[in-house]
Amino acid sequence: MKARGDRVRTIGETLLPTQFLRDLGVYLQTAAHIEFEGWQTVMYAEGIDVRSRTEFLEYVELKLHTRDLLARYRACAARCPGSISARILTAATRVEDGLETRNLAAHGAFFWDDGQAKLKAVHYCPRGWGKDRELCDETRHFTLADFQGLLDDAGQLLQEFRAIRKAVIAWRYRGGLPDASEVEDG
């Protein structure tokens, strides 16, 4: 049996620089937490009864559909005071602007080009809706520094999403969030 530190590298680990793989994991987790913070913001802005399992499960269903969640996040701004609303709309626009990059990071195949010291990412995806929907292939090239910039931007966006969620809680639940330890079954 091998000691923990003596494990065999996977094929994926041999294809890409170790630091990039680490950064990609951090980027994807940051994106997941942005989505989670946005989801909670929608629940709190809409005034969820935190004791209602039924309401909670309806919000879980929303969380399963990123584009619907983003539209609902944008819409919840109308329920909030102006200063919070403006921040929600700005944050939603930033997410929309970066959604293709996030999808590329999550679903694309990355390759390392030693000759150019660049990453290449290939992703096939749908664009548009209904009759306007088309399938496209996307290839992008990144330097490691470019990817570090994306990671930094995502980190800043997560900080803003967390601050917005806290502001919504302070506004909606002036005495703090109700205790959800006694959840109703129905």
Domain definitions of the chain by residue range = 28-172
Residue 178 tokens, joined: 């109700």
Over residues 77-122, the pLDDT tens digits come to 999 999 999 999 999 999 999 998 999 999 999 999 888 889 999 9
Give, in order, the Cα–Cα distances in Å from 7 to each of 18, 46, 150.
15, 48, 30
Residue 9, pLDDT score: 79
Average pLDDT value for residue range 169-177: 89
| Closest C-alpha to 146, from 119, 122, 124 | 119
Which whole-number Å values give the CA distances from 56 to 39, 44, 72, 131, 174, in the listed order?
A: 11, 11, 15, 34, 21
Q: Say yes or no to pLDDT of 184 above 70.
A: no
Query: What was the pLDDT predicted at 39?
Result: 97
pLDDT digits (tens, 9 = 90+) for 4-36: 566 777 888 888 999 999 999 999 999 999 999
